Amino acid sequence: MKTITIQLDSHSYDIGIGEGLLSGIGAACKAVGLAGAAAVVTNPTVAPLYAGVVTGSLQQAGFTPVVIEIPDGEEFKTGETLNSVYDRLLEAGLDRRSFIVALGGGVVGDLAGFAAATFLRGIPFVQVPTTLLAQVDSSVGGKTGIDHPLGKNLIGAFYQPHLVLSDVSTLKTLSERHYRAGLAEVIKYGAVLDAELFALLEAKVDGLLKRDPQLLGRVIARCCEIKAWVVEQDEREGGLRAVLNYGHTLGHAFETLAGYRDLVHGEAVAIGMVQAAQLSQREGYCSVGDVERITTLVQQVGLPSDAPVVATEDLITSLAKDKKNRSGTLQYVCNRGIGSYVFHQFTPAQLAEACCSGR
């Protein structure tokens, strides 16, 4: 197992990455001082595959687990679903000594983490991500929350887990669509923070698509190292951490306008990255060749690169509600070549018009 530690002033924790780790989740939770009842929040897709292994391991370590299933899909990352989790936690009698295990992808991790942050004013939680997107991004760094009909992740909290355990073996059962969607977040790290990682991805497209476990372990670990470095410097996104929003500003808007159904998160981010590269080139921050490399890699891993047809006015409205909007201005992440970045200020109208006029 590869272990990466996030060192924060308030709370530090380990990210474990390897194969066959689920059977050791109970011992790992015990090792970080957790006790009492454990609520395993998961969904109907993941539960039949992995809930038994996780609850069995927790029982062997002396915990009392209860499984809470929530519907599968971004459209269910809502206040209604969150309240159903609170109901189950109360029915099961969890107290402040209890903890939550988020077993699933980004939706499960975000919602279960927010439940942990707010239930009884905060109980511990553990991230056990089972999707590529969650293993390289959403399970690390303490962002938790739910969506609102007017925008993605508008309601939430920064709340760090006690442990992240990423079992690469779970990626074998991930659907092709969601696996490829996770590669968008992997590309993100290379495009703005690590030119060597980007070059590795370009050279190893076949291995990525074949889900080579050794390659995946290496790539996931590198992504987590990068995110740990960023979060350690800027836990609550006051500056540097905003770089991790590369591709997300327009991506979130496209997701919202699609009703969180037609595009999954990684697909929307992929489109957003290509748009960001094109805008970066127009602003003089990167070359046409850089744009071509980013667009080609996105396409090679099977992700969409063309922006959906949306009305400029609708896009402006969605961007205006982005949580990163500051006094009518968005701090937009542009490419400074491959592997570096620069922040550029756009108003929602400027960004929407640039995006729509470029179709």
Q: Which residues are marked as active site?
A: 121, 143, 185, 227, 237, 241, 245, 248, 252, 265
Q: Which two tokens stand for residue 263?
A: 């595009």
Q: How far apart are CA 307 and CA 302, in angstroms?
A: 15
Q: How far apart are CA 141 and CA 123, in angstroms?
A: 17
Dihedral sign (CA 213, 214, 215, 220): positive
CB-based contact 287:336 (threshold 8 Å):
no
Read off the DSSP letter of residue 131: S
Q: How far apart are CA 108 and CA 128, in angstroms?
A: 10
Residues 6+ apart with CB under 8 A from 327: none
Label residues 151-160 b or e (16+ Cβ within 10 Å = b).
Answer: bbbbbbeebb
CA Rg value for the chain: 20
E strand intervals along 149-240: 151-158, 163-167
Estimate to the nearest angstrom the gap between the alpha carbon of 308 and the chain centroid: 22
Query: For 9, phi and psi rounded to 5 degrees?
Result: -60, -40
Number of H helices, E strands in the chain: 14, 12
Query: For 11, phi and psi rounded to 5 degrees?
Result: -170, 120
**What's the maximum distance between 2 C-alpha atoms anywhere in the chain?**
60
Q: How far apart are CA 78 and CA 169, in angstroms?
A: 29
Query: Residue 192: which of 283, 304, 303, 285 has the closest Cα?
Result: 285
Cβ-based neighbour number of residue 92 at 10 Å: 16
Read off the DSSP letter of residue 357: H
Please name every residue paired with 145 in a beta bridge, in sequence order, or none if there are none.
Answer: 156
